[in-house]
């Protein structure tokens, strides 16, 4: 497809971020926009929230597009890949992505003895099955030399009661990172994991952000003396997508402020 006079071929790099309409995903998208990237972001239900994110990214001088996706439903991934292909051709006149960030997720806090099979299956579908099979479906759209980022958690290194199922899924993602780094390496595709510590967002019901006692306890166990903010994580994800990080492969990079050292 050739570009027309009103919309020339777009030279900027393009990254797809799942769950990019809010929280850490939106923060990463905005940092990427400032650094010369355009963004395809996904949302599950809140189209208004997604369009607000698109507008914010546009105000930073980048182009963004929001596509609906429920990462818990892998049966929809083939259709989604087709919609991404159409969007790249229609909006950017290209056929490839430069990066893929698996950010979408949920938090379920439940003791091991009270965790239900339904909760376990939901966490597995969103945090482990989705990164595996969504990458598989989008792989033909990733250019050689592209970058994949998985989002994990500090909870794979240290433990907090109530997160056995959640952290188990994130541990699986970290293993997946190393396998994809090895198998996709011949194409120059880099695959790495970012593992945040406690972050003050609405994730998991906003416990870290809204419960002062929880926040204070976690801050006391953090070397830098506070819980994290989205602005502590978004720049890390954005940095890993930069060409200057091209020799970082198969790594788990924890951004926790030094929790439980």
pLDDT digits (tens, 9 = 90+) for 157-178: 999 999 999 999 999 999 999 9
**Catalytic annotation, pick one of 21, 135, 152, 256:** 152
Q: Say yes or no to pLDDT of 200 above 90.
A: no
Please identify which of the residues 43, 135, 170, 256 carries the catalytic annotation: 170
pLDDT digits (tens, 9 = 90+) for 13-67: 999 999 999 999 999 999 999 999 999 999 999 999 999 999 999 999 999 999 9
More confident residue, 71 or 202: 71
153 is catalytic: yes
* Cβ 28 vs Cβ 21: under 8 Å: no
Q: What is the pLDDT of residue 9?
A: 45
Q: How confident is the model at residue 208, as a pLDDT? A: 75
Mean pLDDT over all residues of the chain?
Answer: 93
The model carries a pTM of 0.93
Q: How confident is the model at residue 205 (pLDDT cuts 50, 70, 90)?
A: low
pLDDT tens across 231-243, in order?
999 999 999 999 9
Helices and strands per DSSP (H, E), number in the chain: 9, 7
Q: Is 129 a catalytic residue?
A: no
Q: Helix, strand or coil for residue 93?
A: coil
Cα dihedral 176/182/184/188 (nearest 10) = 130
pLDDT for res 204: 64
Whole-angstrom distance, CA of residue 202 vs CA of residue 26: 13
- Is 166 among the catalytic positions? yes
For the question of residue 152 being annotated catalytic, the response is yes
Q: What is the largest CA-CA distance in the chain?
A: 63
For residues 132-161, b (16+ Cβ closer than 10 Å) or e, as one string?
Answer: ebbbebbbebbbeebbbbbbbbbbbbeebe
What is the structure's pLDDT at 201?
A: 77
């Amino acid at each position: 497809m050739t570009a027309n006079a009103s919309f020339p071929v777009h030279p900027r790099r393009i990254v797809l971020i799942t769950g990019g309409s809010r929280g850490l995903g939106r923060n990463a998208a905005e940092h990427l926009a400032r650094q010369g990237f355009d963004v395809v972001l996904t949302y599950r239900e809140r189209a208004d929230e997604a369009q607000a994110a698109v507008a914010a990214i546009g105000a930073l001088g980048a182009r963004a597009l929001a596509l609906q996706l429920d990462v818990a439903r892998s049966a929809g991934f083939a259709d989604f890949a087709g919609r991404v292909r159409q969007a790249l051709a229609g909006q950017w006149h290209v056929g490839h992505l430069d990066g893929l960030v698996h950010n979408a997720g949920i938090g379920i806090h439940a003791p091991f003895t009270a965790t239900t099979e339904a909760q376990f299956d939901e966490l597995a579908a969103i945090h482990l099955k989705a990164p595996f099979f969504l990458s598989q479906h989008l792989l033909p759209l990733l250019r050689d030399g592209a970058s994949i980022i998985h989002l994990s958690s500090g909870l794979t290194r240290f433990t907090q009661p109530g997160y056995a199922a959640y952290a188990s899924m994130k541990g699986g993602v970290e293993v997946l990172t190393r396998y994809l780094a090895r198998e996709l390496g011949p194409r120059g595709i880099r695959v790495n994991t970012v593992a945040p510590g406690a972050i003050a967002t609405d994730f998991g019901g906003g416990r870290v952000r809204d419960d002062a006692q929880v926040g204070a306890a976690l801050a006391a166990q953090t070397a830098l003396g506070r819980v994290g903010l989205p602005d502590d994580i978004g720049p890390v994800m954005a940095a890993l997508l930069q060409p200057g990080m091209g020799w970082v492969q198969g790594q788990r990079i924890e951004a926790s402020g030094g929790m439980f050292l």
